Amino acid sequence: MGKELYHLSPVILTDDIFFKYRPALTITGTNDLRQAAYLTAEQQMMTALNTPLIPTSITGTFFAPPGQDIVLDWERVHSIDNVTVLTDDGGCNCDLGESSGCGFIRSGVGYIDVRRTAALAASQCSCGGMGVYQYRVAYTAGLPTGTAANDLNLHIALAMAAELDLKEMVDPGALEGGAGDPGVTQFGSKNYSETRVDLKVTPFGTSAVANHIFNRVRHLRTLRALRF
C-alpha cells in the first residue's frame, strides 16, 4: 500500500505561530501561498517523523507477505481498531471471505502477526483450503495532542520549513543556494572560502537550514524494532 499524507490542510501552523518564530521575515506572500507553505511543511514533517502530527484515523490494505509480519505504515500507533482478514477458499467464484483478525503494538509501532491472524481467521471459517489474500486494517496514529500543541522545537521547525517553502514559491533566489534550496558544502568569494561538514538528505531538503530543522525534531523520531 502506498503511504498517503492524511493532512490536507494545516493542523498546527497558523499565521500567529509562523510570524512568532519568523519575526524578521520580509517575504510573506499572500494568505493562500502561506497556507500552501504551512501544509507542505507539515507534510514534510509527517515524512520526517513517520507519523501524522495529530492523532489520525488511518485505513489501509496490505497483501500478506509469506511468513512475514506486516508492519503498519505510520509509527506512534495509539490503537489498532480493526483488522479484517480477506481469505480465498480456493473456489472459482472469485469471492473473498472476511474474518476478524488482530494486531499488536510494540514501542509505538503496529504489527500484524500473519501466522496468528491466519490461525484466528481459520478458526472462524469452516471452508477448506483457505488462504489469506490480504488484510484491511484501521488504526489510529500520530503525535499526542499535547505534543502538537506545546512542543516548542516542533513549532520552530515547522515555521522554518514553511519559510523555505514560501521562499521557493515567492523568491527562490532568497534561498541559500538558490532555487530548490540545494545543500552548499563549499563557498568562496574573493579572498574568502569555506568548506562545510557533509549535509544529510532530509525530507526538508539538503541545505544547512533543512538539516537544522531535521535535528530540531530528533527527539520526536522513534526507533523501529528490527524484529517483532
pLDDT (tens digit per residue) in 129-145: 456 778 899 999 999 99
Residues 6+ away with beta carbon under 8 Å from 33? 166, 169, 170
pLDDT attached to residue 212: 94
Tell me which H or E stretch contains 71. strand 70-71
pLDDT attached to residue 207: 87
pLDDT attached to residue 134: 83
Quick check: helix, strand or coil at residue 85?
A: strand
- Three cell numbers, residue 166: 514560501
Phi-psi sector, 198: left (phi>0), alpha (psi -120 to 50), beta: beta
Q: 154 vs 77, 134, 157, 199, 220, CA distance in Å?
A: 19, 37, 5, 21, 9
Specify whether the CB–CB gap between 214 and 43 falls below 8 A.
no
pLDDT attached to residue 23: 94
pLDDT attached to residue 69: 83
**Residue numbers in the chain where pLDDT is lower than 50:** 1, 128-129, 228
Residue 151 and residue 217: Cα distance in Å, rounded? Answer: 9
pLDDT attached to residue 84: 87
Short-list 87, 109, 90, CA closest to 98: 87
**Domain limits, the chain:** 15-53+145-220, 56-141
pLDDT tens digit sequence for 92-133: 556 676 777 778 898 889 988 776 666 665 555 555 445 677
